[in-house]
Amino acid sequence: MKESLPSYEDLQKRIAMLELRLRQIESRDFIVKENHAELEALRVDYEVVFRNTNFYVAFYRPNGEIVAYNKIAAEEVGFSPNELVGKMVWDVFEKPQADLFYSRMKKAMDQGGIAKYEELNQTKHGVSWYETDYIPVYDENEELIGCQVIARDIGEKKNAIDELAVSRELFKSVFEQSNAGIAIANTLGEFVDTNQQFANMLGFSRSEILNLNNADISYYEELEIEKEYIQKILDGEIDEYTIEKRYVRKNGEIFWVNLSSKVVRDADGGILYSVGIVVDIQNLKDVQQALNESRQRYKLLIDNQIEGVTVNDKDETFVFANRAAEKIFGVEKGELVGKNIKTFLPDYALQKVLIESELRAEGETSSYEVDIITKQGEKLNIFVHAIPNIGLNGEFNGTLAFFRDITAQRNAERKLEESHNRYQTVLENTSEGVFVAKDGYVVFANNAVE
């Protein structure tokens, strides 16, 4: 198995240990064979670390002359390690960067200790951030002989930190400026932070909110429902939920909100905290209640109409029918919806209804009479007043029809007309003269009078 490379901190410790051990061995008054072997082993170890680490390692003389660069560092500045030996720092970097680089080496050497920096450096691969240690190096006589530089690219880390900072600023901006209330609670339901909108919504100050928990401000009827969601979160089944619930303001007023809650977990899946987004929907609830009441009144009115009322789609299929309409067509309650008007039309009446449907599609209102056949097979004559059903966007959705059964009326009219015709026939064919006068004028005279 390939051995993993040492960490940055391990590398620093290892190099420091090697250098210390080298100085200890070289400074002894006598050197035996074992000392030579140990010295050589340490040098080999140091060389392995120097050449194979994935960090940038370089050694400079006090005047800025390059003594050694490992391969990865040399490639970063566009040279081979051998090409860099003997060059000055100003031969490798642009003067402003070289001056800054050398000033930091000099500071470390002057102070006799490690100097740490985060630097933005230009290399052949572009500009990136580096974490750099400048380490003064001494010989066996404690004389300064140069500066060792160890650097690692932290561009990705730096970018991640910058992105995190931007994210935090963005969250802070959204948190404070949102029109929705935002609350952060711990695992006990205690509020640890809220935005001003959440506090305003409940009539508390932000400091007062932080002394409360979710149960303190929740209407009791929804607490049990919310506990079920919380238990699912604790069991790991869900991480978020959305419900409509009621809160209680500081003054005791109860109001409706839409709550979207999401938990944030740590790397091991443990719950850190929950974030709740709260929107006041009391006005919406008031509108819905008013709308429902209006619908109930409308339904009561329509259901108790003596006339039949139906709503048909563009194909003349019933989508609504009141009870009077169902009685006229001879069906049970709810049976008319889903059926097409054609089901109840005799063949001779079908064309008439199709023509009327075309008028409705053209936006015209009309009244007409038509015969229908009830579910029981009885033929009825109905009077229809039909208007186009136009949607909010101006689209044609079908027909709204009001109708009544005029069969008895039409039968009575026919009987009256038949009786009138028989009476007139008798009068006209009698041999005796018959006339009717009104206001001195003859308004009727049979043939015998004439």
For residue 43, what pLDDT band results from cuts at 50, 70 and 90? low
For residues 413 and 361, give the distance between their C-alpha atoms in angstroms, rounded to a whole number: 34
Find the mean pLDDT for residues 412-421: 83
Q: What is the pLDDT of residue 443?
A: 65
**Bigger pLDDT: 26 vs 250:** 250
**Bigger pLDDT: 173 vs 103:** 103
| 21 and 79 belong to one structural domain | yes
| 23 and 147 belong to one structural domain | yes
| 217 and 121 belong to one structural domain | no
**Bigger pLDDT: 422 vs 116:** 116
Question: Looking at the domain assignment, is residue 164 inside a domain?
Answer: no
| 424 and 395 belong to one structural domain | no
* Structural contact between residues 389 and 400, judged by C-beta atoms closer than 8 angstroms: yes
Using DSSP's 3-state secondary structure scheme, residue 336 falls into: coil
Q: What is the pLDDT of residue 30?
A: 40
Find the mean pLDDT for residues 138-148: 86
| 76 and 210 belong to one structural domain | no
Out of 216, 247, 282, pick the residue that ends a domain: 282
| 309 and 278 belong to one structural domain | no
Question: Looking at the domain assignment, is residue 297 inside a domain?
Answer: no
| 430 and 382 belong to one structural domain | no
| 274 and 336 belong to one structural domain | no
Find the mean pLDDT for residues 299-311: 83
Find the mean pLDDT for residues 145-168: 73
For residues 111 and 249, give the distance between their C-alpha atoms in angstroms, rounded to a whole number: 64
Torsions phi, psi of 214, nearest 5? -60, -40
Predicted structure pTM score? 0.46
Question: Looking at the domain assignment, is residue 117 inside a domain?
Answer: yes
Question: Looking at the domain assignment, is residue 383 inside a domain?
Answer: yes
Q: What is the pLDDT of residue 183?
A: 92
The mean-pLDDT minimum among 48-52, 308-312, 351-355 falls in 48-52
Helices 33-52 and 8-26: crossing angle in degrees, nearest 10, is 150
Q: What is the mean pLDDT of the chain?
A: 82
Cα dist from 251 to 20, 201, 254, 353, whole Å: 74, 11, 9, 62
For residues 221 and 217, give the distance between their C-alpha atoms in angstroms, rounded to a whole number: 12
Find the mean pLDDT for residues 352-366: 92
Using DSSP's 3-state secondary structure scheme, residue 153 falls into: strand
Q: Which domain holds residue 253?
A: 178-282
In CATH, what number is assigned to the domain containing residue 253? 3.30.450.20
Question: Looking at the domain assignment, is residue 191 inside a domain?
Answer: yes
Does the CA dihedral 392-394-396-398 come out positive or negative? positive
Radius of gyration of the chain (CA): 48
Report the residue count for the chain. Answer: 450
As for how many domains the chain has, the answer is: 4
Using DSSP's 3-state secondary structure scheme, residue 434 falls into: coil
| 183 and 269 belong to one structural domain | yes
pLDDT above 50 for 3 = no
Identify the top-confidence range among 45-54, 73-82, 240-249, 414-423: 240-249
For the record, the structure tokens of 349 come out as 């009446």
Give the tens place of pLDDT for each residue, 181-200: 999 999 888 999 899 999 99
| 344 and 397 belong to one structural domain | yes
**Bigger pLDDT: 10 vs 272:** 272
| 50 and 142 belong to one structural domain | yes
Q: What is the pLDDT of residue 304?
A: 76
Amino acid (one-letter) located at 78: G
Give the tens place of pLDDT for each residue, 21-41: 555 544 444 444 444 554 455
Name the nearest CA neighbour of 248 among 240, 257, 239: 257
Question: Looking at the domain assignment, is residue 426 inside a domain?
Answer: yes
Find the mean pLDDT for residues 276-293: 91
Q: What is the pLDDT of residue 131?
A: 85
pLDDT above 80 for 294 = yes
pLDDT above 90 for 123 = no
Q: What is the pLDDT of residue 19?
A: 57
Q: What is the pLDDT of residue 28?
A: 44
Cα dist from 354 to 272, 347, 350, whole Å: 67, 12, 6
Considering the chain, what percentage of its residues have pLDDT values greater than 70? Answer: 79
What are 218's strand-pairing partners?
Answer: 247
| 30 and 144 belong to one structural domain | yes
For residues 105 and 235, give the distance between their C-alpha atoms in angstroms, rounded to a whole number: 57
For residues 444 and 170, give the distance between their C-alpha atoms in angstroms, rounded to a whole number: 98
For residue 368, what pLDDT band results from cuts at 50, 70 and 90? very high
For residue 372, what pLDDT band results from cuts at 50, 70 and 90? very high
Considering the chain, what percentage of its residues have pLDDT values greater than 90? Answer: 43
* Structural contact between residues 319 and 341, judged by C-beta atoms closer than 8 angstroms: no
Question: Looking at the domain assignment, is residue 168 inside a domain?
Answer: no
pLDDT above 60 for 261 = yes
